[in-house]
Amino acid sequence: MFSVQFNTTKATADLKKSIDQTVRSVAKTFFDGVKKRTPVRSGLAKRSWRFNRKSATSYSVDNKQPYIGRLDEGYSKQAPSGMTRPALDEVIAKHRNIRSK
């Protein structure tokens, strides 16, 4: 007789933990990248970035400054490509292996 048993509860918990860590890493990479690329005149826009955990697998990156959209459209010579697109490109480059696994 031959028998194989799998513990799906442990495997599911381990997988969920791995996914949660990956989601946080991706969100944090984006936050760090967008903040790093924010142009500075007074520093208010850069200081206004917030990284918030909404749930185990949900994070938000916010900036409440009314002119942040204009800066992201390339208004400043310090960030002519904006901040979000280059930050997303960095996320894709850093976490490219996620899709191939």
Asked if residue 6 is part of any domain, the answer here is: no
Q: Does 57 reside within a domain?
A: yes
Q: Is residue 1 part of a domain?
A: no
* 3-class DSSP state of 59: strand
Residue 71 lies in a domain: yes
Query: What was the pLDDT predicted at 44?
Result: 97
In 18-75 the beta strands, taken as DSSP E runs, fall at: 49-55, 58-63
Residue 86 is predicted with a pLDDT of 97
Whether residue 66 is contained in a domain is answered as yes
Look at residue 4 in the predicted model and tell me its pLDDT. Answer: 80
| Range of the structural domain that residue 29 is part of | 25-100
Whether 30 is covered by a domain: the verdict is: yes
Tens-level pLDDT at each residue, the chain (101 residues):
888 877 788 888 888 888 899 899 999 999 999 999 999 999 999 999 999 999 877 999 999 999 999 999 999 999 999 999 999 999 999 888 765 44
Q: Is residue 85 part of a domain?
A: yes
Q: Does residue 20 sit within a domain?
A: no
What is the domain count for the chain? 1
